[in-house]
Amino acid sequence: MTNDEARRVRIIGAASSGLVTNGEASEQPGISIRQIIRLKASFARNGARGMVHGNAGRKPRHALSDEVKTRIVELFEWKYFDYNFSHFTERLNEAEGMSVSRSSVFRVLKGAGIKSKKAVKHKAKQHRPCPRKTTAGIMWQTDASRHKWFGEEHGYATLHAYIDDATGVVTGAFFTETECMRGYAAALEQGMLAYGLPLSIYSDRHTIFRSPKELTDDEILSGTELPLSNFGKALYELGIKQITAHSPQAKGRIERLWNTFQDRLIAELRFSSITNIADANKMIAEGFISDYNRRFAVLPHEDGSACMPFDRSIDLGLVFSIRDTRRAGGGNTISYKGE
């Protein structure tokens, strides 16, 4: 009998013998008059035993066996040590032949003195999230993350990605050594082939997206609002509007994506013994992104897609080529990079 059950026996016993009224008994914490009446009837039928919960001393029907608990701890410590508890539970059910709930796994691991990676992270200052776009394809947010994706013992790599603002679907992702136009172009190509052309791309103000030069007369006459970089010119040719943000918080969805990727993707890369960019790009394209979208994407407020059909006859190599404008001098000669 627990301390709470012993306290209830004393209270109900006093109420049953008339030492206190039902109202006085209900003044005790956690007991209402309705409970007093019910418990008095149980006390009259069964005595003090009626105050003890019916499942007391019984092993829960769905309780995990000691063997399963030991197996869970061993798998976490030796095989999935860098997974968070939710990610680990998914692996147990999908790769290890188990059928366990997340709450059960949490209890087993915490009971073994193991803390989840997420439990020790300090929360950053919270910013009010921007409302999602209503329909898929209205806007894709993009960014790049330079990180030690292959573990602390390996160098840095940069992952470029796009995420649909309405659904949270990752439309494309691509690794390169550093942040560059090629990385953004390759990730965008993945998305265009799979979903079509978005109406707009939302990025930061990196020079890949926004040229530091002044607008040319031709650009002003054509209605261009920003000085176009080579990537900006490519978007213009494809008919995609370019929008630049003024702070990381404005790109909240892509920023939060990095938090998830730097948790889950790093663990998956380590688990698959991947330590180079080529193999990482293959893994992302062949399963990681689709698995991520299946777990985390949401339904848009409105059905359908605003994406425009992509003409596969377009030469994307030419569209995303590096271009510079030069004026021809005497003898039809030009100078380029000082030569």
Could you read off the pLDDT of 51-104 as tens digits, one per residue?
A: 555 555 555 556 788 899 999 999 999 899 999 999 999 999 999 999 999 999
The pLDDT value recorded for residue 120 is 44
SS3 28: coil
User: Positive or negative, the Cα torsion across 268, 273, 276, 279?
Assistant: negative
Residue segments in the chain with a per-residue pLDDT below the cut of 50: 120, 122
Q: Which residues contact 78 (CB under 8 A, 6 or more apart)?
A: none
Q: Are 117 and 84 in contact (CB under 8 A)?
A: yes
The pLDDT value recorded for residue 179 is 95
Task: For 86, list phi and psi in degrees, rounded to 5.
Answer: -65, -45
C-alpha 160: how far from its chain's center? 15
Q: Which residues contact 255 (CB under 8 A, 6 or more apart)?
A: 143, 248, 249
The pLDDT value recorded for residue 122 is 47
Could you count the other beta carbons within 10 Å of the beta carbon of residue 281?
A: 20
Alpha carbons 79 and 172: distance in angstroms, whole number: 29
Largest CA distance in the chain: 117
> CA angle, 201 as apex, 196 and 203 as ends, to 5°?
145
Structure tokens at 293: 């979208």
